Chains A and B, each alone.
Chain A
């Protein structure tokens, strides 16, 4: 990396900074593996003792060459302007689509520095910010290649066929293909914000609105099996994220010995899929064959997609009316569709702290409102008859819904003459309907309570000691039964909307000691 910088103080008020540079990033990886099987005799753990030795090697290289510049200009402590630009050339994209440029500009204005506002008592600080930025991002492109076939998955435990077979190998085209016209993806973000502080900083409000437009997002798009391939790495579409964020800082009480702080952070994030490349119906983000977590056009994302209940026009579950059948009076599986939206309506975080002299007591809580998740564990608890709802297997019951003719369901199942009804319902009907596994997962949590004591005097020169006791994850209320909704798997892509066999969250209590110098 080479950079050149210029600092120029134009006059009392103006300050000018310029930085230009280039960067060359070159990575070469080689890895070797050597595996030995069937040792001739025990006690000598060395490859020379193995009867079957397999060796493999893989190499990977990548180069990025970037040129960048950064210009900043400020006037007094009031107006700040910043502009950047960067051009990258990357090796991991197809020929002729390797170069991309992305700029950014930002401006901030500290209004409280204006003469008329400088001496206003109740206003301590006021700032307006606005910015625009683009970020380019390369994908990982390869020419299509052949691989050795594998036979695991599906019904198989392990691989029933393993090449080489009797010394014969085979190669087939890789399941994953790359679009030779792959372009770098581009994210444009706009941001506008206000920071205000009043009454000697005892009350503060920050508000930020930002919008991100991702164009030509690179995704491995799952293909219809009938195309003969599994997925295609391509520019699959555009998504937009809108974020409103409000921070509120308050100090309701402040005396020389005692202070009470109360802060809130409200966020509302909306992800929308604007466009998808021709032929792409939705983007697979995670999950099983069914249900899946996806992003689809016209929906917020992620959404959960899977088999539904058969419902009538007004949304009532339609039950089977077939006297004598094992599933008489039970719901049925309908067409696959969107069965839940993972995005919450909003998230509100709060922190509060009481400080008296050297002792402080603080708490952190979070409220997530709205959003759905797939709870595999709850479904399995029902399937195996281990959950509370399956406890009563002897009383009669009527499944809530309507009959095919539209009248309310009045088919009575269960009781002594129908002993398998409860088991059939949970094991053979509901277990196949993904929609049954969908639960709202709003929650309110007390994340942490901590008590901290700071020694009033330094122990040695500037060194000081603080002692804290804390308890984490102690109280929560949630719309999801049996489980903490945050115990989900694959959170990065799937927005925490998938859970199966997950471990409960731990409650922890602790003690900590911190020394500052």
Chain B
């Protein structure tokens, strides 16, 4: 009997020890609902989607659209941004975008690590090159809008809680290096299969990503013109980029599982009215797009433009964009932008004949945008009768105003960048009409995100009370940070 009890007791002891051994416990706590690792091709798909939809297409563009007077904020946060009350200085305004940009950059970092030396997809050069290109692209949007931002200490959760800020000047060195690396990698031979349908933009075509990378080199070379002009480089890079709209870097929406952000901003929020100042620029040029850009609000009796800086806060009265539609693409880098970059570079080099050629191509491409629907003939007629006389009078002004108009409304962030750069260079060629701008209420930059302002001392010190957005330019626009 005693023996039996002993056996039973030792059996229980063995069972108890086995039941809580570390290996057994690891097995029990294994999360079988979610993968702990996935291939880079499955991660890069959403990097592309977030870069296009969230970062290029949504909040950051909506606010740029207001500051740049592509649209007028007539309700809620947009109205607040229009009348320059809370939104431009609050750290909550761009917080979602701030977090999205860093999360996207973090995903990019994961891909780059996988595809680099020592990673489990070493030799996947094309995915690596695409990731480096998108790294440069998103980091540039981040610093263009916010100035000095965390980078060298960023993206180490649980290791560095409060990353320090990096200077914008240094970030531009990194951006250009990333693009140079991408250009090398995209031209390498690889045994890894193409991204194919996982790549929503180019279907895995490395040659097109290469053109995109060169196009970004051109864009960023122009960006630094106030600091270190290199117009021959702009032309050189632009020549290696897109040669037609078929190659441009756009993200398309299917209108069922994916929707164009400006369209959804109208259906979900209805915060925008048609901009009086943009209409004035079209009127000055008898621009045929004046009949295409806008329509009356479905709830309004007639059509009315919203005055910049002082609309009545009311929905269903002012006209709205007619080019926001469910499938309107997001432009990460358009073919017309490449031609506009060339046109500006030629003008600045004094080569007005080449500039005219590039400008005409740019306007034609802008007329032929899928949601504009004008033809090359329309563009030619307009160019000859309206653009040329103005170009001859002031080439830079006409090039930049045409670019500004062509960027309505998906390319608002780039329009905002151009405006700030031109101001820094002393070229006051684009006229904004919000009367509050005269009282130093033009936001020269975007605030940092609240998630850092509330937890990262380095960022909260730089943020202060947020009013620096009205007084301090970013580095490439002549500021210090």
Q: Which of A167-175, A341-349, A372-380, A402-410 is the contact stretch?
A: A167-175
Establish whether residues B161 and A149, one from each chain, have CB atoms under 8 Å apart when the complex forms.
Answer: no
A225 touching B38 in the complex, CB below 8 Å, given contacts A61-B29, A95-B26, A149-B50: no
Q: Does B401 contact A (CB under 8 A)?
A: no
* Closest CB in chain A relative to B92 CB, distance in Å: 5
Establish whether residues A154 and B59, one from each chain, have CB atoms under 8 Å apart when the complex forms.
Answer: yes
Q: Which residues does chain A contribute within 8 Å of B31, judged by CB atoms?
A: 142-143, 145
Establish whether residues B157 and A227, one from each chain, have CB atoms under 8 Å apart when the complex forms.
Answer: yes
Q: Which of A330-338, A463-471, A503-511 is the contact stretch?
A: A330-338
Q: Does B450 contact A (CB under 8 A)?
A: yes
Q: Give Cα A327 to B163, complex, Å.
A: 37
Establish whether residues A177 and B158, one from each chain, have CB atoms under 8 Å apart when the complex forms.
Answer: yes
A169 touching B95 in the complex, CB below 8 Å, given contacts A2-B12, A155-B59, A224-B455: no
Q: Within B4-52, which residues are at the interface with A (CB < 8 Å)?
A: 12, 16, 19-20, 22, 25-26, 28-38, 42-43, 45-46, 49-50
Q: Does A12 contact B (CB under 8 A)?
A: no
**A-B pairs with beta carbons under 8 A, tally:** 235
Q: Which residue of A lies closest to B156 (CB)?
A: A227
Q: Give Cα A310 to B16, complex, Å.
A: 63
A226 touching B45 in the complex, CB below 8 Å, given contacts A142-B31, A161-B53, A162-B257: no
Which of A96, A141, A292 contacts B22 (CB under 8 A)?
A: A96
* Closest CB in chain A relative to B55 CB, distance in Å: 12
Q: Which residue of A lies closest to B79 (CB)?
A: A428
Establish whether residues B25 and A95, one from each chain, have CB atoms under 8 Å apart when the complex forms.
Answer: yes
Q: Which residues does chain A contribute within 8 Å of B96, judged by CB atoms?
A: 153-154
Residue of A226, A305, A326, A334 most packed against chain B (CB within 10 A): A226
Establish whether residues A62 and B36, one from each chain, have CB atoms under 8 Å apart when the complex forms.
Answer: no
A95 touching B22 in the complex, CB below 8 Å, given contacts A162-B258, A279-B161: yes
Establish whether residues A224 and B161, one from each chain, have CB atoms under 8 Å apart when the complex forms.
Answer: yes
Q: Does A455 contact B (CB under 8 A)?
A: no
Q: Does A488 contact B (CB under 8 A)?
A: no
Establish whether residues B454 and A142, one from each chain, have CB atoms under 8 Å apart when the complex forms.
Answer: no
Residue of A61, A145, A160 most packed against chain B (CB within 10 A): A160
Establish whether residues A172 and B43, one from each chain, have CB atoms under 8 Å apart when the complex forms.
Answer: yes
Which of A24, A166, A170 contacts B42 (CB under 8 A)?
A: A170
Q: Which residues does chain B contribute within 8 Å of A161, judged by CB atoms?
A: 49, 53, 257-259
* Closest CB in chain A relative to B442 CB, distance in Å: 15
Q: Which residues does chain B contribute within 8 Å of A145, judged by CB atoms?
A: 31, 34-36
Q: Which residue of A lies closest to B77 (CB)?
A: A155
Q: Give Cα A271 to B198, complex, Å.
A: 52
Q: Within A123-145, which residues are at the interface with B (CB < 8 Å)?
A: 141-145
Establish whether residues A227 and B160, one from each chain, have CB atoms under 8 Å apart when the complex forms.
Answer: yes
Residue of A98, A156, A175, A282 most packed against chain B (CB within 10 A): A156
Establish whether residues B158 and A289, one from each chain, have CB atoms under 8 Å apart when the complex forms.
Answer: no
Q: Give Cα A385 to B43, complex, Å.
A: 49
Q: Does B150 contact A (CB under 8 A)?
A: yes
Q: Give Cα A174 to B43, complex, Å.
A: 12
Q: Give Cα A22 to B109, complex, Å.
A: 48
Q: Does A223 contact B (CB under 8 A)?
A: yes
Q: Which of A71-79, A201-209, A228-236, A253-261 is the contact stretch?
A: A228-236
Q: Does A187 contact B (CB under 8 A)?
A: no
Q: Does B261 contact A (CB under 8 A)?
A: yes
Q: Which residues does chain A contribute within 8 Å of B49, judged by CB atoms?
A: 149, 161, 165, 170
Q: Does B456 contact A (CB under 8 A)?
A: yes
Q: Which residues does chain A contribute within 8 Å of B161, judged by CB atoms?
A: 223-224, 227, 278-280
* Closest CB in chain B relative to A469 CB, distance in Å: 50
Number of interface residues of B (CB under 8 A): 87
Q: Which residues does chain A contribute within 8 Å of B267, judged by CB atoms?
A: 157
Q: Which of B98-106, B297-305, B332-340, B470-478 is the contact stretch?
A: B98-106
Establish whether residues B36 and A63, one from each chain, have CB atoms under 8 Å apart when the complex forms.
Answer: no
Q: Within B115-163, which residues are at the interface with A (CB < 8 Å)?
A: 149-150, 154-158, 160-163
Establish whether residues A432 and B80, one from each chain, have CB atoms under 8 Å apart when the complex forms.
Answer: yes
A430-458 interface bits toward B, Cβ cutoff 8 Å, 1 = contact, 0 = none: 00100000000000000000000000000
Which residues of A pack against B, CB within 8 Å? 2, 22, 24, 57-63, 65, 89-93, 95-96, 98, 141-147, 149, 151, 153-158, 160-175, 177, 179, 222-230, 232, 234, 278-282, 289-290, 292, 305, 307, 310, 322, 325-327, 333-336, 427-429, 432
Which residues of B pack against A, CB within 8 Å? 12, 16, 19-20, 22, 25-26, 28-38, 42-43, 45-46, 49-50, 53-54, 58-59, 62, 80, 83, 85-86, 89-92, 95-96, 98-99, 102-103, 105-107, 109-110, 149-150, 154-158, 160-163, 197-198, 200, 254, 257-259, 261, 264-265, 267-269, 313, 439, 449-457, 459, 464-466
Q: A57-B33, A91-B29, A290-B92 are in contact. List 13 more A-B contacts (CB 8 A).
A: A98-B20, A146-B37, A155-B58, A155-B265, A160-B264, A168-B200, A222-B455, A223-B161, A225-B451, A234-B158, A279-B162, A290-B90, A335-B464
Q: List 28 A-B contacts (CB under 8 A).
A: A22-B16, A57-B33, A65-B20, A89-B25, A142-B31, A143-B36, A145-B36, A149-B49, A154-B59, A155-B58, A155-B265, A155-B268, A157-B268, A160-B53, A161-B53, A165-B257, A168-B197, A223-B455, A225-B451, A226-B452, A228-B154, A229-B157, A279-B161, A281-B454, A281-B455, A281-B457, A290-B90, A428-B83
